[in-house]
């Protein structure tokens, strides 16, 4: 039985959303090699030590880079691959033409899978798209199969980068649904942040970078409180670190809305906090794939209001489990929040349908089964 290499373009223990994927990749690779092979893990660097999530799992760990390895280092990697009979590689965000691919092939790797958690390209058309397709066809060093988290991200490959549709698959994320659904203390979030209990809490958790549209949510909050005089709403943001929230202060700090907006910081009690919230918002304006947070929010019973951009708009069933709004339009977002706040029965219906949808389609077991099946199908199409 051949060995399996899983590699990442980030350092070990990078945190954020990548660690759950590391565990899923490991479990899937273990299924594929069964008991006769070994798993190898590659990271850009090991400055933070070996992956903590291994927690007793057996794996060989090595340092590698998709682009910044010398000829000597690449040759050494090829020899390592050959001596360990590594035939399969699953690499996170491995692009067409990456230098490391030649080292994989020289070492005897027969199947390279690239798992993309981001767009591969902007969408192209006409002659430009045709040239992209020709370029991909003519590039020798490329993954055999590309896996995406959403149809929207898959399209950035087929209609952006020029990847053949037959060389792509979509595998949705999965979560521990019961963990998020089991939190029942609705008072905890109110006590933690001293929020008046008569207010309906609108929740956001995630990065504070510009493309995530946090400013859009803040502007919507200010509109609802300052202009529409809503005193029954409160906006809670989690994920800010190192005073990242300060860039939004000018949007509300000197207004009435200051008493209705809370930045809660980077926290490890998100499931407990969500139990008492009314709805959640993801307002990304640049790009988004299929964020894990959307599944966690739905599992916690929160209807989602999300911007209508590729990938993100697949996280809900519009007007069934949540609502879409025009990307970057804080007034449209305010309208959606207000509509949901004024229709509690509809909100509860969205909540129930959203939880059912996650339980039926987005568990960890489903994700692992789908990824295992996708890789096995591709392996059967390749020579042994």
Say yes or no: 121 and 224 in one domain.
Answer: no
Q: Please tell me the predicted confidence (pLDDT) of residue 128.
A: 97
Q: In sequence order, which residues have a C-beta less than 8 Å from that of residue 100 and are 6 or more positions away?
A: 64, 65, 66, 67, 69, 74, 77, 94
Say yes or no: 334 and 218 in one domain.
Answer: yes
Structural domain including 79 reads: 3-174+364-380
Give the CATH number, domain containing residue 170: 3.40.50.2000
Q: Please tell me the predicted confidence (pLDDT) of residue 5.
A: 97
**pLDDT tens, 305-338?**
999 999 999 999 999 999 999 999 999 999 999 9
Q: Please tell me the predicted confidence (pLDDT) of residue 47.
A: 92
Say yes or no: 204 and 151 in one domain.
Answer: no
Find the helix or strand (DSSP H, E) in which 19 lies. helix 18-33
Say yes or no: 156 and 183 in one domain.
Answer: no
**pLDDT tens, 69-122?**
999 999 999 999 999 999 999 999 999 999 999 999 999 999 999 999 999 999
Say yes or no: 344 and 375 in one domain.
Answer: no
Say yes or no: 170 and 185 in one domain.
Answer: no
Say yes or no: 197 and 168 in one domain.
Answer: no
Q: With left for phi above 0 and alpha for psi between -120 and 50, is residue 224 left, alpha or beta?
A: alpha
Distance CA 230, CA 228 (A): 6
Q: Please tell me the predicted confidence (pLDDT) of residue 384.
A: 45
Instruction: Provide the domain count of the chain.
Output: 2
Share of the chain above pLDDT 70, in %: 98
Say yes or no: 335 and 368 in one domain.
Answer: no
Q: Please tell me the predicted confidence (pLDDT) of residue 16.
A: 67
Distance CA 88, CA 271 (A): 36
Q: Please tell me the predicted confidence (pLDDT) of residue 17.
A: 74
Say yes or no: 337 and 226 in one domain.
Answer: yes
Q: Please tell me the predicted confidence (pLDDT) of residue 382.
A: 58
Look over the chain and give the mean of its residue pLDDT values, rounded to a whole number. Answer: 95
Say yes or no: 309 and 196 in one domain.
Answer: yes
Say yes or no: 120 and 236 in one domain.
Answer: no
User: Is residue 202's pLDDT more than 90?
Assistant: yes
């Amino acid at each position: 039985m051949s060995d399996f290499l899983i590699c990442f373009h980030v350092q070990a223990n990078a945190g954020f959303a990548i660690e759950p994927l590391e565990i899923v990749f490991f479990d899937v690779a273990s299924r594929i090699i069964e008991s006769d092979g070994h798993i190898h893990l590659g990271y850009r660097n090991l400055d933070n030590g070996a992956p903590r999530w291994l927690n007793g799992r057996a794996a060989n760990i090595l340092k590698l880079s998709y682009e910044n390895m010398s000829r000597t280092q690449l040759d050494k990697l090829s020899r390592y691959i050959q001596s360990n009979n590594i035939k399969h590689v699953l690499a996170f965000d491995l692009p067409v033409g990456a230098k490391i691919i030649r080292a994989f092939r020289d070492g005897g790797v027969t199947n390279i899978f690239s798992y993309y958690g981001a767009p591969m390209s902007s969408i192209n058309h006409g002659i430009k798209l045709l040239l992209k397709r020709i370029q991909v066809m003519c590039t020798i060093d490329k993954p055999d199969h590309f896996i995406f988290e959403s149809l929207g991200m898959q399209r950035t490959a087929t209609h952006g980068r020029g990847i053949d549709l037959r060389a792509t698959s979509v595998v949705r994320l999965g979560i521990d649904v019961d963990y998020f659904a089991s939190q029942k203390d609705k008072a905890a979030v109110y006590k933690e942040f001293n929020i008046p209990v008569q207010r309906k809490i609108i929740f956001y958790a995630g990065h504070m970078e510009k493309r995530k549209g946090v400013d859009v949510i803040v502007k919507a909050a200010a509109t609802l409180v300052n202009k529409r005089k809503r005193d029954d709403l409160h906006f809670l943001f989690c994920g800010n670190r190192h005073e990242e929230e300060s860039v939004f202060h000018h949007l509300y700090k000197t207004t009435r809305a200051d008493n209705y907006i809370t930045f809660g910081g980077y926290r490890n009690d998100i499931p407990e906090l969500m139990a008492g919230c009314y709805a959640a918002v993801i307002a990304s304006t640049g790009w988004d794939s299929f964020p894990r947070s959307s599944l966690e929010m739905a599992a916690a019973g929160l209807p989602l209001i999300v911007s209508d951009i590729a990938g993100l708009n697949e996280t809900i069933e519009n007007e069934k489990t949540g609502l879409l709004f025009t990307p970057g339009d804080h007034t449209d977002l305010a309208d959606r929040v207000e509509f949901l706040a004024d229709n509690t029965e509809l909100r509860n219906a969205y909540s129930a349908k959203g939880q059912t949808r996650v339980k039926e389609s987005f568990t960890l077991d489903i994700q692992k089964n789908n990824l295992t099946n996708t890789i096995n199908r591709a392996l059967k199409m390749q020579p042994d």
